[in-house]
Structure 1
């Protein structure tokens, strides 16, 4: 029986990542509007044999409760800058050979045909390394940028996402694998009997696509929904799930639930669904060194500015925030403000368990968005990841850096070799396509 091994994905969304002060830190790179920034990141993660690098996205600068974006831009808040993910992964593809390339594309606005063609193009040009991080978009600001009056409710967004993903998959299968004949002697370019339109009753597209299957068939599907409806969607479609659990037990329960849903509700083999937990690693030469690093990152955060950012996130009145009040009361009063029920549930769960004040919540949100942290030497981090992996709390991890590129470089140079020595991670890329890496 093949030994089960960890999988790693690097999440990239500068200028802040999960750490709000990333762009200000002198140890972080600030050339995130240049191609070399992303090419170097891809090469670093490929040196670490990561399965994939993926790029987050949103379609608007985050707005406050009055519809203004000034706070986000003034403070350098998360979401102030997003490059187009398709263009970015295409650039990284030219600088790398093996690593998977994940692009976030919303199902709420772009036609299914355009999604199918863009992603399958990347998959062909990269030799079968593309992945689609499926999102539905969550804010009115995004809807208005895309010509809509307001964002749809979550249930409607997921219903549309089901239809869009189903259509995209149909389009990707509109050519049989051997339909592109290229028979020079017979003067036969393609076999038209191997190319079909998709279902005639589908209002989104009729096909066929202008591309045959890629080296891995079609791009890998990735999703991060954490609400009950999002989990059902992930169980039905995703091959990789980006999960956030605030406790080990919560991580394990979520993985078990997703696998059960995939098997019972959708007839899928649960082993075809990898649940990767998001983590922010702080790596030091020793445990004490890592703790010192974390303290320095925390010290950079300005509390009044962190409170302003929290108020923007929750569409609250910044001047009316009481830093000493219970965070759970603030979250309850502004339920639904972020557009992501799962994210808000996570904030509330962590705030309740750790008895956060509003000030505590603001600082932690600025430090890591309340995502789990692992702090210590390479051996200490490897111990924690091994425990989560062996206890079936995760199939692997989404690594979210505090600083670009140093956090990734520390992880690749320190933690990856330690996991390889333990036989928990690959020592080379044994396959060519992303889907094969994920099954390795």
Structure 2
């Protein structure tokens, strides 16, 4: 077996990314409503031999405590703009040949058959490079946009997601691998005996199949998931091939990876090596450590505290006029528990705030800078050192790279850090295959 190597995925959600000022920063590209933005991004990450690029999504503009969307739009808050991820990965598929293509699709609102057909279509057209980032959605605003009065509770959402994923997987395999015959001389297109409806189960069926597409070149699209609550981790252990994790500390990262691998093995009989746990990081790369620290200081200087407090209040459904910037952040988080709809995200905010003794002002600034995701800052050598340490200590199988700025943060990483990791033998020097699943096993 070859030596274990790192895996990298680029996360894309302009115009803000994880850095709230990206849309107005002089080094941030502003053409995120044009195809060239995504074509260039895909080519850059493919040049860096990334396993995959994936596109985040939500189905509503985030609302404030009164149910209004004005604050989000006025401030350019995260979620102001979301392109359809499946359409966007289809565009990137046409200008690349190897990099994997991940789209976020909600199990709560999109029928299983539609999910199966959309993603398998992209998988075929790209030669086996598609992935599904599975989400359940979290807000009432999304539910109302999709014709529901309110979002279901987390346990119900995950129970439904289990049924949807199970159905989608069966639809993807409703054609046996050799069912598409294409026998020209025998005038036989497909073998009906090799195409099946899906298994009947108790309750209302989500689909009966078969799908109108044969099997994928890579078996089926790769499954990705980012739930961090106990129920989310159980879901990931059952289904995920790639897990998007956010660790507060190195030991926390290591424990999460260990727990996921153990749950997959014990609860579902899976080979734990089938799951890649990728930790989210925001790299700030300079040619020297001093240069990188200056870049970070420049990013921080663009953040206006009153604006950051307004955004934090909107996120937590708090009254911005009542925020005390010098108050302990933990008090604010406790008073507005449940506001975001994501248990795991709120636990992460509380954990970081406790460890770093944040005030409300500190929390607001860090949320605008990096959404409290870990930063790796320094020269290519320094950043590679930090990533290598996390990788070798089994805190991560690789990393979700979340840029501060589009596209310069990705370009700095690809031009500086990737060659350093290749020199150390920690990252591939070429793609070993054509499909995403081949990349993930390399």
Give a deviation string over 1:388-407, Cα, whole Å, max 9, x none.
00000000000000000000
1:175 pairs with 2:207: no
Cα deviation, residue 427, structure 1: 0.1
1:244-283, aligned counterparts within 5 Å?
Answer: 244-283=246-285
Distance 2:138 2:268 in 1: 26
1:409 counterpart SS class: helix
CA deviation string 1:207-264 (max 9, x = no partner): 0000000110110000000000000000000000000001000000000000000000
Cα distance in 2 between the residues matched to 1:285 and 1:119: 40
Residue 111, structure 1, aligned to residue 111, structure 2: yes
2:18 matched to which residue of 1? 18
Q: RMSD across aligned C-alpha pairs, in angstroms?
A: 0.5
C-alpha distance in 2 between matches for 1:46 and 1:226: 29
Q: Which SS does the other structure have where 1:189 is aligned?
A: strand
Report the equivalent of 1:402: 404
Output the CA distance in 2 between the equivalents of 1:342 and 1:114: 28
Specify the alignment match of 1:143 in structure 2. 143
Counterpart residue number, 1:36: 36
Q: Pick from 378, 385, 388 the counterpart of residue 386 of structure 1.
A: 388
Where 1:241 maps in the other structure, the secondary structure is: strand
Deviations 1:46-99 (A, max 9, x none): 000000000000000000010000000000000000000000000000010000
Aligned match of 2:372: 370
Q: Aligned partners of 2:300, 2:239: CA distance in 1, in Å?
A: 38
Aligned to 1:6: 6
Partner of 2:326: 324
Deviation of residue 200 (structure 1)?
2.7
Q: Does 1:287 align with 2:289?
A: yes
Q: What is residue 70 of structure 1 aligned with on the other side?
A: 70
C-alpha distance in 2 between matches for 1:22 and 1:246: 24
Structure 2: tracts of 5 or more residues without a match: none
Counterpart residue number, 1:429 = 431
How do 1:87-236 residues align onto structure 2 when only pairs under 5 Å count? 87-201=87-201, 203-236=205-238
Aligned partner of 1:305 among 299, 304, 307:
307
Deviations 1:271-294 (A, max 9, x none): 000000000000001001100100
Unaligned runs of 5+ in 1: none
Q: How does 1:349-368 map to 2 (within 5 A)?
A: 349-368=351-370
Q: Which residue of 2 aligns with 1:334?
A: 336
Indicate the SS of the match to 1:170: helix
Output the CA distance in 1 between the equivalents of 2:226 and 2:395. 16
What secondary structure, in the 3-state scheme, does the structure 1 residue paired with 2:132 have? strand
Runs of at least 4 residues off by over 6 Å: none
How many pairs were matched up? Answer: 440
1:47-62 paired onto structure 2 within 5 Å: 47-62=47-62
Determine the C-alpha separation between the residues in 1 that align with 2:138 and 2:216.
Answer: 31
Alpha-carbon distance between aligned partners in 2 of 1:4 and 1:66, rounded to the nearest angstrom:
50
- 1:19 to partner: Cα distance: 0.2
- Alignment TM-score, normalising by the size of structure 1: 1.00
- SS at 2:387 equivalent: helix
Match of 1:337, SS state, is coil
Instruction: State the SS of the aligned residue for 2:134.
Output: strand
Corresponding residue SS for 1:328: helix
